[in-house]
Amino acid sequence: MTLTTTPEWRELATLAEAQRHIHLRERFAADPQRFSRHAIRHGGFLLDYSKQRLDDAVVAALHALWHAAAVPAWIARMRAGEAINHTEGRAVRHVDLRAAQPPAEVAAVLGRMQAFCARIHDGSWRGASGKPIREVVNIGIGGSDLGPRMATRALAAHAHPGLRVRFVSNIDGADLATVLADCDPAQTLFIVVSKTFTTQETLHNARSARAWLTAALGENAVSRHFVAVSTNLEATAAFGIAAENVFEFWDWVGGRFSLWSAVGLALALAIGMDNFRALLAGGAAMDTHFFDAPVHTNLPATLALLEVWNTNFLGAHSRALLPYSQSLAELPRYIQQLEMESNGKQVDRAGKRVDHATAPIVWGEAGTNGQHAFYQLLHQGGRLVPCEFIAVLRPDFDPGGHHDALLANCLAQSEALMRGRTADEAPASTSAALAPYQVFDGNQPSTTLLLPRLDPHTLGQLIALYEHKVFALGVLWNLNAFDQWGVEYGKVLARRLLPMLSGEAPASGLDSSTAGLLAACLAARR
């Protein structure tokens, strides 16, 4: 029996059909206590999902589905270290990276990171010319870039003085060139992050950075200006990085769940190791909540079940992630990878095609910028787009009155999406001809997550919240959330095309479109 044939799934389908035409403003009018019954508070977080298109019966049915899918048993399997990433034969143990008492190998790497950060911060680590490090450039891609990049920007208020941390990921030479343009080779440290030390984009950028450095300081400078996060000691040694300057992580750490490991070295340098450990502690606190809280008060469980409701029963194809915090401007990109690479799949754990929708498209932008870009479609575009608002109650940066205006916009947008506006509610000065343009259907579902502040501990909670949501959704949709074979296939094709583009191999075996595009690229070179 698949989950879609269970009584719990059928009950949700029946409820969705019966409630399809109930407007959210009707729900609020009929239930003055709606907010108090559809909000969860934990660890300083407030999750308000009262603006979702649901009622108590739907919530109860979603909770029943959680147990029908045996999510608690899967949680226990993950905690026990079983190889639940079955297609790669690996355990999923990223929670061990942030445990209060981590495994010995994790503790050892954290200790090495602490010692290294201290040497950079106190100036005892010197470049080849004897100068202290003032620039750190992280070279990675995907999980080796998005997490540290997002968190470094989010925690800019906690940045170590006198040290600038930058990120390069794209194989497009403009990414690296624009970063190096205002770096001093004598005071720049590169962190090359690649588990296998074979990632095409990362190694191409690393070699170009190496050439830039050695042109200025000579070959002997490499060991003082490059460190690596990798498991391939042979390849890092061939590059010129000493073994003591290679920080390991393990095959039970998936790339998009690796921020907590040595992959976060650039972040640790940016904010200091004490703050990095506070981030880990925040993640561990959310782990405890997810593992122990019952489903009706469980934050990750609630977000996962809302996704199932909107995707599988209301027919939503995308979700807008809208952080009303410029510090969290990189969060939508990070969550895109976390969710879409994890659950953007149509083959279940038994190798069969699923008979239901899976991960929606995740997109978004920091408010209020997004309001002047795409909110018009949210309000009047006629598409169902569930929205997820995130706001911080106490800001790190507020030159004067900015934060009140920011929060006012956040709350107003979720209210407007919920309520809409009828023709009778249009401004009195509106002419009959313009009245139709002033109408907003409303009934757009949203959640709002309020954070007490944006510090390392809270950010750790937030990241772990989404990680556990992704895992729970993988179980609910019967997917392996921890592999990414679709990504690998594109890399295989790119490796085949590269020698054709460079002229080292003839173009052959291509479809007419790829062959035509390749010919145009080669013609432009000539």
Residue 491 annotated in active site: yes
Residue 248, SS3?
A: coil
Residue 147 half-sphere exposure, CB side, CA atoms within 13 Å? 27
Q: What is the DSSP letter of 360?
A: P
- The single residue of 296, 352, 402, 491 carrying the catalytic annotation is 491
- The single residue of 296, 317, 352, 372 carrying the catalytic annotation is 372
Residue 372 annotated in active site: yes
- The single residue of 201, 307, 330, 341 carrying the catalytic annotation is 341
Residue at token pair 């624009």:
178
Q: What is the DSSP letter of 101?
A: S
Cα 328 versus chain centre, distance = 11
CB contact burial 383-417 (16+ within 10 A = b; e otherwise) = eebbbbbbbbeebbeeeeeebeebbeebeebbebb
What angle, rounded to 10 degrees, do the helices at 56-68 and 299-308 form? 100
Query: What are the strands of the beta sheet with 361-364, ordered from one edge?
Result: 39-42, 45-48, 446-453, 387-394, 318-324, 361-364
Give CA separation, 279 vs 26, 105, 272, 284, 465, in Å. Answer: 42, 19, 11, 9, 13
Whether the Cβ atoms of residue 202 and residue 139 lie closer than 8 Å to each other: yes
- 426, two tokens: 């249009």
CA angle 164, 166, 172 (to 5 degrees): 155
Q: How does DSSP assign 154-172, residue by residue?
A: HTGGGPPTT-EEEEE--SS
CA distance linking residue 264 with residue 152, whole number of Å: 9
- 306, two tokens: 């809302």
Whether the Cβ atoms of residue 234 and residue 196 lie closer than 8 Å to each other: no
- Kindly state the helix (H) or strand (E) to which residue 492 belongs, with its residue range: helix 485-502
Residue 86 annotated in active site: no
- Residues belonging to the active site: 341, 372, 491
